[in-house]
Amino acid sequence: MKTLLVLLLGLSSGALHAADLPHAEPVPGGVAIVPLQRGGTEAPRAYFNGDRVMVLKGEQEWLAVVGIPLDTKPGSYAIRVRERSLSFTVQDKQYTVQRVTIENKRKVDPNALDLKRIRRESAIIHAALSAWHARTSVPLRFDLPVLGPVSSPFGLRRIFNGEPRNPHSGIDIAVPAGTPIRAPAPGRVAAIGDFFFDGNMVMIDHGQGLVTMYGHMEKILVKKGQRLARGEVIGLVGQTGRATGPHLHWGVSLNNARVDPTLFLSRDALARLEAK
């Protein structure tokens, strides 16, 4: 098995410019950028954990842009490309703990009818996140969907009413109810709906397994299948679903792995977010 160096912020001469790529951080909930091969006119198909991964062409080599699930342990992992296995290393990262009190206890311990609804909704979400739509050009640097302080960062080990739950798979941006939410990059609306935990939610498919999610909306202003331009309003901020106040839950999924949305922000957008 051939060991490859995971690129961090810069890429060698002849590859895609770093400004066109997400910020590489090969940790649980992060993104690894792995060189696959030089030459060839057709993108090689690459898979990680059974899911197809994004492959883009640099000037002289093909690159895999790989989402790393939050529950991944540090160590060596492999991307499968045809008959080859290309390894990369996942480094450790520790996330902090957040304790939250939810007044509606059903949002912490759903009843039997709630669980049936959750299973139906999980199938819809999984279908949207695991879909593959080929695109030769994928937007990998995002604008902010809303501008405000981050009330819950990515990866928090969340404890609701004293009970441990899954880590926070996105970032929460605290802004007033009714604030317009804008598409951070071009894409197509993959799914919309009123979900048990996420409330009114929109999912946007940007191509090659890159999907963004917008939860707890007050109102949805787009339709499934609609093509979106960068900056187009998709809905209004609210506090539907499991929310203790108005905010936008913004998630990013890459090859069906939830990853840190801030890794995809443009330098200007990241600076504006950190200034809040």
86 and 106 in a single domain? The answer is: no
pLDDT, tens digit, 9 for 90 and up, residues 105-133: 776 778 999 999 999 999 999 999 999 99
Distance between CA 189 and CA 113 in Å, rounded? 28
212 neighbors 206 (Cβ within 8 angstroms):
yes
Lookup: tokens for 236: 């209004």
Distance between CA 72 and CA 118 in Å, rounded? 24
64 and 132 in a single domain? The answer is: no
179 and 78 in a single domain? The answer is: no
211 and 83 in a single domain? The answer is: no
Share of the chain above pLDDT 70, in %: 87
Residue 242 pLDDT more than 90?
no
Residue 164 pLDDT more than 60?
no
pLDDT, tens digit, 9 for 90 and up, residues 18-36: 568 899 999 999 999 999 9
Token look-up 């949805």 returns 220
39 and 108 in a single domain? The answer is: no
80 and 120 in a single domain? The answer is: no
Please give the pLDDT value at position 1: 38
Please give the pLDDT value at position 85: 92
Q: Taking residues 214-237, report their average pLDDT.
A: 98
Residue type, 258: R
User: With the C-alpha atoms ordered 142, 272, 216, 68, is the resulting torsion angle positive or negative?
Assistant: positive
Token look-up 């069906």 returns 256
213 and 125 in a single domain? The answer is: yes
pLDDT, tens digit, 9 for 90 and up, residues 252-264: 999 999 999 999 9
7 and 124 in a single domain? The answer is: no
Mean pLDDT of the chain: 88
122 and 239 in a single domain? The answer is: yes
113 and 135 in a single domain? The answer is: yes
Q: Taking residues 38-43, report their average pLDDT.
A: 81
Domain boundary among 90, 108, 143: 90
Please give the pLDDT value at position 54: 96
Helix/strand/coil (H/E/C) assignment for every residue in the chain:
CEECCCECCCCCCCCCCHHHCCCCECCCCCEEEEEEEECCCCCCCEEECCEECEEEECCCEEEEEEECCCCCCCEEEEEEECCEEEEEEECCCCCCEEEECCCCHHHCCCCHHHHHHHHHHHHHHHHHHHCCCCCCCCCCCECCCCCCCEEECCCCEEEECCEECCCCCEEEECCCCCCEEECCCCEEEEEEEEECCCEEEEEEEEECCEEEEEEEEEEECCCCCCEECCCCEEEEEECCCCCCCCEEEEEEEECCEEECHHHHECHHHHHHHHHC
Please give the pLDDT value at position 3: 39
The domain that contains 154 carries what CATH number? 2.70.70.10
147: pLDDT confidence band, cut at 50, 70 and 90? very high
15: pLDDT confidence band, cut at 50, 70 and 90? very low
Lookup: tokens for 98: 């957040």
158: pLDDT confidence band, cut at 50, 70 and 90? low
Please give the pLDDT value at position 9: 33
The domain that contains 6 carries what CATH number? 2.60.40.1590
Domain boundary among 37, 70, 90: 90
Q: Taking residues 163-187, report their average pLDDT.
A: 90
5: pLDDT confidence band, cut at 50, 70 and 90? very low
pLDDT-wise least confident of 42-56, 73-87, 156-170, 216-230: 156-170
Q: Give the number of domains in the chain.
A: 2
Range picked from 4-8, 132-136, 233-237 for highest mean pLDDT? 233-237
108 and 79 in a single domain? The answer is: no
Q: Which residue has the higher pLDDT, 166 or 73?
A: 73
55 neighbors 64 (Cβ within 8 angstroms):
yes
144 and 252 in a single domain? The answer is: yes
* C-alpha count within 13 angstroms, C-beta hemisphere, residue 3: 4
Domain boundary among 90, 105, 131: 90
Please give the pLDDT value at position 11: 35
Share of the chain above pLDDT 90, in %: 71
Residue 194 pLDDT more than 90?
yes
Please give the pLDDT value at position 4: 39
Q: Which domain holds residue 190?
A: 97-275
